[in-house]
Amino acid sequence: MFLKLLLIIICLLQAPLYASSSINQIFKNFIKNIDHPDRLTCNNTNTDFIIAAYQNIFEQNPTEEELINALSLLDESSDQLNLVTIKRSDLISILLAQKYDTDHLTKTILKKEIHLTEDFDFCQKSGFIPYLPLDQNLDEAEEKYSEDYIKKYQLDYAAHTADFNLYYGYMHAHTGFSDGEGTPEDAYTVGRDQAQLDFLAVTDHDISISIWPWSNKWKKSKSIADQFNKSGEFVAIRGFEWSSPIYGHINVLNSKHLINCITKPTVRSLYRWLGRQGEDVFARYNHPGRTEFLGWGNKLEFNQLRVYPPAIKFMVGIEVFNGRSGLRKYYYNTGYNGDRNFFDTANLNGWMIGAVGGQDNHNRSWGILNDFRVGVWAESLTRKGIINAYQERRTFVTEDKNASLSFKMNGAQMGSRLQPGTKNIEIVVMDTDQEIFTEINLYKNGDIIETITPTSNRETLTLETREGEYYHVIAKQADGNYLMSSPIWIK
């Protein structure tokens, strides 16, 4: 009798484990089916699938924008020019996370949604043909803001005169946690040990990071970054790439939570979400000019960098190098309208955008793809120190890992916000390999105002500055490599 009772108790204790394991397996089988339509007796279109997913999860149809967005991400055809695509199961996990307002799915959630595995109509035919007029998809970007309203949100006066240290790295890299290779452990190890970077951020694509209970890679990526982060030695930062097929790609750094371009489908919705995050969360624009949606080209990308004042603080920079392409592509261009480049378009629109870049690695080349780096003037090699340097725009880009650039006004380093008046300019260029600098250009509001043929590593001049101006520097080496500073703003 005692033995029989003991067996009953053991079975009851183990029942939740079996049930939990069973829930996982049920959903894994469900995923296999939806990701491999050939297993099924019918094969519906992606449009049919998206509508069925919304109806089964939310009991309503997707909005036209939600449908277009998801449809673009599921479409792997070459004419879409998508930079990233997703599987049908990725869409299911994203919508479930949206329903429960979470960035990680639990077994409890799956138990509540077990009906999906039983009731989902794979053969549903919607007969819907999506169409989205261009003027409905501008994300309210035509709204005009007064100069006073923009100034209200711009960064306050700050003269960066501290004795800063120089560190090198970048904040745009991928792993097998999305569409790259290897793991974040591999990325940080290669970046630290082989490339000898001082800091690195892994920023896998938002819509591809698994959040299923048996494979929560978002949660794991945080613990890996914390494991590799060693103050004074190497700074590891977790981020993600908001990867809209319509509005472009933006890296979000150091956030606690993961959102995506389906649940936050517009640039404006991303900006608003950023405003609700912590003080140490920031973002930057990726590879401008590359997002081409249907027949509209890149007219929708980043809303053509129209300013949204409440987000000025969080949007710290735009890439002027990406992958193997440097300033020749990402600075010396004519932007969206055939006149100004992307960097100056943003700053002239009222943003306060620094110069950043990323190797955007999708294979095991973290930091060793080339010599392109972001240099930061920071108080310390700590996560707080590197984040602060980005937030204060004390960043420059270099196509030579051994080269450095300092740009000061009245002793205040790049990124400073100063009052108008007479300014003593100091530009210092260095290269530990003794490579020659052949030209230094000083820009005001995007136009060259002074060209210097350097005779030493340090060049000085004096000029009068006025409110509303910003200045930055580009230096060129004899081998054709460029260095570019972030601006100094005159408020």
Q: Tens digits of per-residue pLDDT, 208-253?
A: 999 999 999 999 999 999 999 999 999 999 999 999 988 999 999 9
Question: Which pLDDT does position 131 carry in this prediction?
Answer: 46
- Residue 41 pLDDT grade (very low, low, confident, very high; cuts 50, 70, 90): low
Rounded to 5°, the CA angle 423-430-358 comes to 95
| Helix then strand then coil, % of the chain, to nearest 5 | 35, 25, 40
Alpha-helical (H) ranges within 59-133 are 64-74, 88-99, 107-112, 115-119
- CA distances for 88 relative to 106, 112, 156, 332, angstroms: 19, 20, 46, 39
Q: Pick the closest to residue 331 from 399, 268, 388, 377 (CA basis).
A: 399
- For the domain spanning 161-395, the CATH number is 3.20.20.140
pLDDT value, residue 28:
95
Q: State both tokens at 77.
A: 């055809």
The Cα 160–Cα 418 span in angstroms is 10
Which run of H or E residues covers position 165? strand 165-170
75 — pLDDT class (breaks 50, 70, 90): confident
Split at pLDDT 50, 70, 90, the class of 119 is confident
**Model pLDDT, residue 467:** 97
Distance from CA of residue 214 to its chain's centroid? Answer: 26
Q: Which residues, 6 or more positions from 475, have their beta carbon under 8 angstroms from its beta carbon?
A: 405, 427, 429, 437, 439, 440, 441, 454, 482, 483, 484
C-alpha–C-alpha distance, residues 368 and 370, integer Å: 5
pLDDT for the residue numbered 291: 79
Cα–Cα nearest to 261, from 178, 323, 201 = 178
Start-to-end CA distance of the chain, whole Å, equals 86
pLDDT beyond 60 at 425: yes
Query: How far from chain centre, in Å, is Cα 180?
Result: 15
pLDDT at 17 over 70: no
Tens-place pLDDT, residues 361-390: 999 999 999 999 999 999 999 999 999 999
Give the 3-state secondary structure of residue 30.
helix
Name the residue ranges covered by the structural domains of the chain.
24-123, 161-395, 400-491
CA angle 178, 182, 183 (to 5 degrees): 75
Mean pLDDT, rounded, of the chain: 90
Query: How is residue 350 written in tokens?
Result: 């009222």
Q: What's residue 296's pLDDT?
A: 56
- pLDDT score of 489 more than 70: yes
Between 48-52, 241-245, 296-300, 380-384, the lowest mean confidence (pLDDT) is in: 296-300
Query: Can you list the alpha helix ranges (DSSP code H) found in 63-201?
Result: 64-74, 88-99, 107-112, 115-119, 147-153, 184-189
- Tell me how long the chain is: 491
Would you call 55 exposed, middle or buried from its count of C-beta atoms within 10 A (0-12, 13-18, 19+)?
middle
Q: What pLDDT score does 42 carry?
A: 63
> Closest Cα to residue 474, out of 327, 342, 287?
327
CATH superfamily of 400-491: Immunoglobulins (2.60.40.10)
pLDDT at 18: 39
The conformational region for residue 356 under phi > 0 = left, psi -120 to 50 = alpha, else beta, is beta
Task: Give the count of beta carbons closer than 10 Å to the beta carbon of residue 156.
Answer: 7
pLDDT confidence of residue 1 = 53
According to the model, what pLDDT value does residue 72 have?
87
Contacts of 104 (CB under 8 A, 6+ apart): 97, 211, 213, 216, 218, 219
